[in-house]
Amino acid sequence: MANVTVIGAGTMGNGIAHVFAQHQFKVTLVDISPDNLKKGVATIEKNLQRMVGKGVLDPEAVQTTLGNITTTTHLATGVSQADLVVEAATEDRELKKKIFREMDAHCRAGAILATNTSSISITEIGAATGRPENVIGMHFMNPVPVMKLVEVIRGYSTSAEVTRTILELSRKLGKTPTEVNDYPGFIANRILMPMINEAIESLFHGIAGVSEIDTVMKLGMGHPMGPLQLADFIGLDVCLSILEVMHEGFKNPKYAPCPLLVKMVAAGKLGVKSGEGFYDYSQSAKAEKVAAQFS
């Protein structure tokens, strides 16, 4: 396996492309927006330079890594020579199925089709293709270049060979893969999202304030970041989407999103990416102050 295509140049997509390229894979980064591609590559370069500054990467590796990345706005062209395609588009079930149908039509026989989804059924996505045995979940954590975990999700039809291949590949990337089965939320979000939702419920009911809730979980439970700040970094819209998938999938009221979360998303308060969530990120100085508080 030498050629990897990543669909989506956003936060997760450029992070996934970064890691593969740094480990000497030839990477094609695909996005419908040329601006997104430029921003994605610029982010990769910025993160590589940060690693050089920290002494964890040799300066010459920056250009080598960037040289391993090409970009295109044409999905058919971008996936045609890929051994592996990793989809990292918006967390939208119908969009992902549409992308996988296109990937299936243009990928060579034997190519593995992976999705970075954090909650949507791998089985359902695979069923949209003519090769469900070659469809698998490869759920990276944010920030991808730093976080060691890859949640490898095996759909109902995913073959044992494909699963072994992705587990081995994840280790080659310096990651620690964990195999899980295909149920709503998998493992990471099945445990994380109810905790975040309960933190929001606690705020909603006036039990404690934002910083108080995060301080309790950080200092009392040893979490590196409080659940409300973490929700801001994930994106409140993403948190809501995952909870809705779990609520729909399990039909269990314990996964029902807190009304406060629903209202904040409706109001466009999505966290870091919108400039405001549970914390105010509208000014860079404020954002740095908040980040320093929890670092």
List the catalytic residues.
Answer: 118, 139, 151, 189
Q: Rounded distance, CA 132 to CA 134, Å? A: 5
69, 41 in Cβ contact below 8 A?
yes
The two structure tokens encoding residue 235: 């994106």
Residues 6+ apart with CB under 8 A from 46: none
The distance in angstroms from the start CA to the end CA of the chain is 38
On the CB side of 91, CA atoms within 13 Å amount to: 22
User: Which H or E run contains 154?
Assistant: strand 149-154
User: Which H or E run contains 30?
Assistant: strand 26-30
ω into residue 224 within 30 of 0, thus cis? no
Neighbours of 21 (CB within 10 A): 23
Residue 94 exposed, middle or buried by CB count within 10 Å (0-12, 13-18, 19+)? exposed
User: Which H or E run contains 168?
Assistant: helix 160-172
